[in-house]
Amino acid sequence: MKESAAAIEVQGASFIPDEQRSGRPRDLFFMFLSANVTQLYVVIGATIMVFGLSMWQAVVVILVANSLMFLMGWFASIGAASGVPTSIITRALFGMRGNKVFGAGVVVVLSTLVTIVNLVIGTQGGLVVAERLGMAPDVATTAIVCGIIVLASTGLAIYGYNMMVKTSGVLTVIIAAAFVLLGFFVFQKVDLASFQPVPTENPVIGFIVALTLCIAMPLSWGSAADFARHIPSTTRRKPIVLAVGLGGMIPLVGLELVGVLAATATDMSEPVTGLMNLVPDWFGTVLVVVIVIGSIMNTVMTIYGGSLAVQAAGVPVSRVVAVTGLGLTAAIGTAYVLFFADSFLNILQLGLTCLGSVAMPLTAIYLVDSVRRKGRYDGVALSDPSQGGPYWHRGGFRLSGICALLGGSVVALLSLNGASYQGPIAALLGGIDMSIVLGGTVAAVLFVALSRQEERATSNKLTERTPQ
- List the chain pLDDT tens, one digit each, 468 residues: 455 657 888 888 999 999 999 899 999 999 999 888 877 788 889 888 888 888 889 999 999 999 999 999 999 999 999 999 999 999 999 999 999 999 999 999 889 988 998 898 889 888 988 988 888 888 999 999 999 999 999 999 999 999 999 888 788 888 888 888 988 898 888 877 767 777 676 778 788 888 888 888 898 898 999 999 999 999 999 999 999 999 999 999 999 999 898 888 887 766 667 778 888 988 888 888 888 888 898 899 999 999 999 999 999 999 999 999 999 999 999 998 888 877 666 666 666 666 778 888 999 999 999 999 999 999 999 998 888 788 888 899 999 999 999 999 999 999 987 667 788 998 898 877 788 889 999 999 999 999 887 766 656 555 555 554
3-class state of residue 21 by DSSP:
coil
d(CA 283, CA 281): 5
Spatial distance between the Cα atoms of 202 and 195, rounded to a whole number of angstroms: 19
**Separation between Cα atoms, residue 50 and residue 30, nearest integer Å:** 33
Identity of the residue numbered 7: A
Helix%, strand%, coil% for the chain, nearest 5 = 75, 0, 25
Q: How far is CA 127 from CA 205, 214, 362, in A?
A: 36, 26, 36
In whole angstroms, give the CA distance from residue 281 to residue 289.
Answer: 13
Nearest CA among 402, 406, 449 for reference residue 99: 402
Burial tier of 129 (Cβ tally within 10 Å: 0-12, 13-18, 19+): middle
Using alpha carbons, list the distances in angstroms from residue 360 to 41, 291, 437, 464. 19, 27, 8, 31
Q: What is the pLDDT of residue 466?
A: 54
Can you tell me whether residue 422 is helix, strand or coil? strand
Contact yes or no for 44/344 (Cβ under 8 A): no
What's the pTM? 0.87
For the chain, domains (ranges, CATH) are: 23-90+107-351 (1.10.4160.10)
Three-state SS for 397?
strand
Rounded to whole angstroms, the Cα distance separating 84 from 93 reads: 14
3-state class of 231 per DSSP?
Answer: coil
DSSP at 394: B
Which of helix, strand or coil describes residue 45? helix
Please measure the distance between the N-terminal and C-terminal CA atoms of the chain and give it in whole angstroms: 26
Least Cα distance to 391 among 310, 442, 462, 453 occurs for 462
Q: Can you give the pLDDT at residue 455?
A: 64
Angle, alpha carbons 97-331-145 (nearest 5°): 155
Element housing 363 (H / E): helix 344-372
**How far apart (Å, rounded) are the C-alpha atoms in residues 47 and 240?**
32
The closest of 264, 268, 266, 277 to 193, measured between CA atoms, is 264
- CA dist 125 and 274 (Å) reads 12
Answer whether 111's CB lies under 8 Å from 306's CB: yes
